[in-house]
Structure 1
Amino acid sequence: MPKRPIILVSSTVYGIEDLLNRIYMELTTFGYEVWMSHRGTLPVWSDQTAFENCLAAVDACDLFLGLITPEYGSGRDGTALSITHQELQRAIACKKPRWLLAHQNVVFARRFLRDLGYKTAAERAKLNLKSAARSIGDLRVIDMYEEAILDTRPMGERHGNWVQEFGSDEEALLFASAQFARVQEVERFLNENFSNAAAVVAAAQTPRGGQS
């Protein structure tokens, strides 16, 4: 049987559980294989850490759908980059075909802080959010947004920098549906531009010795 394109959905979970469930159902209905940690469909190997499993999934998937929300997610020791942040960085570094959404609170917070003179991650790092902050949970979500739009690259080199702003579950679901309903176009895009994707996925899914 033809291999179904694999989409990795990368996001924090807190507060958007219902949206993630709806995205999962929509994408599976279209015929994709969906890797999502929230649903337990991410390939997991017992000899790897959670970070390693997640980054391996980024390498092996065909398509990357990332959601940047006001919640930053967990890090190794509370100061390291979160799993979601590292997944985004890996997807950009390996030029994975990617579609990205950013919550309007993140976009507004960036604009507001820039207006106040905090234009870079280094400048924002001098600020401290209150523990009960409700607009965004961590200023590093702005860093993620700027990395997604390839903010530091010259304008002519910002290929793949589209990030769709959303304010409601319906807006996010509409974007995902509009992009991925075109299954044949997506498959043709993969075949024309990423001809080795199937080999990479097959290698990643081959059982390895010593796995439980």
Structure 2
Amino acid sequence: MPERPTILVSSTVYGIEDLLNRIYMELTTFGYEVWMSHRGTLPVRSDRTAFENCLAAVDDCDLFLGVITPDYGSGRDGTDLSITHQELQRAIACEKPRWLLAHQNVVFARRFLRDLGYTTAEERAKLSLKKGAHSLADLRVIDMYEEAILDTKPLGERHGNWVQAFGSDEEALLFASAQFSRVQEVERFLHENFRDPAAVMAATRLPSGGQP
């Protein structure tokens, strides 16, 4: 493994700029190399599209920290999945070591809609939010949350499905600090589970720019 494990921080940016800056400073203080598009540290190749660069970063990072917020983020034409959503799907498909945060608005909205009978993504797709909605910008953030908790898998097969709800920047930062401050434990975990990074990459890498 490299001397400094790399962490890809995947999230939308709007409304959480301060939180992202604080997470970046905290993780770099611990000694990680942090890839974050908001800070301009994501590896970028000029022969790739923005989507391809982001998905390649998921493939190449050691650790994945995802933040699901009420804002869905941008897509290719407004109908495709957002970059952040595709990054999450890629991390799950590659079985990347991952840690997830989800804003409490997303968690509550999912529970509320389930209480109203909208229990699946297909049922929620029949609904539409009014323009300028404040609680959520797009109902697909609930899809992201359900994918993160591996909602469709049997309970016994939901490995890596922990998603920490947060309501404030301090709560999100506390989770990130608690998980990544024990750097030696993280490095040992990587060594014990990914002893041959090249073999793991060859087995899990997906074509850049494609859907998982």
TM interval, shorter chain, is over 0.9
Is 1:44 matched up with 2:41?
no
Is the 2:101–2:172 contact (alpha carbons within 8 Å) kept by the matching residues of 1?
yes
Paired residue for 1:14?
Answer: 14
* Pairs within 5 Å for 1:161-176: 161-176=161-176
Q: Which moved more, 1:188-197 or 1:57-66?
A: 188-197
Alpha-carbon displacement from aligned partner over 1:41-70 (angstroms, at most 9, x marks no partner) = 000000000000000000000000000000
**Aligned mates of 2:196, 2:65 — CA distance in 1:** 20
Change (3 A) 1:198 1:18: farther
For structure 1, the 5+ residue unaligned runs are 202-212
Paired residue for 1:98?
Answer: 98
Alpha-carbon displacement from aligned partner over 1:147-175 (angstroms, at most 9, x marks no partner) = 00000001110000000000000000000
**Aligned mates of 1:71, 1:54 — CA distance in 2:** 18
**Runs of 4+, deviation exceeding 2 Å:** 196-201
Q: What is the SS of the residue equivalent to 1:7?
A: strand
Give the letter for the 1:45 counterpart. R
Give the letter for the 1:129 counterpart. L
**Aligned mates of 2:200, 2:94 — CA distance in 1:** 13
For normalisation by structure 2, the TM-score amounts to 0.92
Alpha-carbon displacement from aligned partner over 1:15-62 (angstroms, at most 9, x marks no partner) = 000000000000000000000000000000000000000000000000
Q: CA deviation at 1:195?
A: 1.7
Alpha-carbon displacement from aligned partner over 1:104-136 (angstroms, at most 9, x marks no partner) = 000000000000000000000000000110000
Paired residue for 2:178?
Answer: 178
Paired residue for 1:79?
Answer: 79
Alpha-carbon displacement from aligned partner over 1:178-207 (angstroms, at most 9, x marks no partner) = 000010000000000012337889xxxxxx
Paired residue for 2:134?
Answer: 134
**Aligned mates of 2:22, 2:85 — CA distance in 1:** 22
Is the 2:194–2:200 contact (alpha carbons within 8 Å) kept by the matching residues of 1?
no
Alpha-carbon displacement from aligned partner over 1:1-21 (angstroms, at most 9, x marks no partner) = x62000000000000000000
Paired residue for 1:144?
Answer: 144
Change (3 A) 1:3 1:44: same
Change (3 A) 1:111 1:133: same
Q: What is the SS of the residue equivalent to 2:150?
A: coil
Paired residue for 1:208?
Answer: none
Paired residue for 1:58?
Answer: 58
Figure out how many residues of one structure are paired with residues of the other and give that number: 201
Give the letter for the 1:166 counterpart. F
Q: Percent identity?
A: 87
Q: What is the SS of the residue equivalent to 1:41?
A: coil
**Aligned mates of 2:153, 2:200 — CA distance in 1:** 28
Across the aligned residues of Structure 1 and Structure 2, the Cα RMSD in angstroms comes to 1.4
Give the letter for the 1:175 counterpart. F
**Aligned mates of 2:121, 2:162 — CA distance in 1:** 20
For normalisation by structure 1, the TM-score amounts to 0.92
**Aligned mates of 2:166, 2:198 — CA distance in 1:** 32
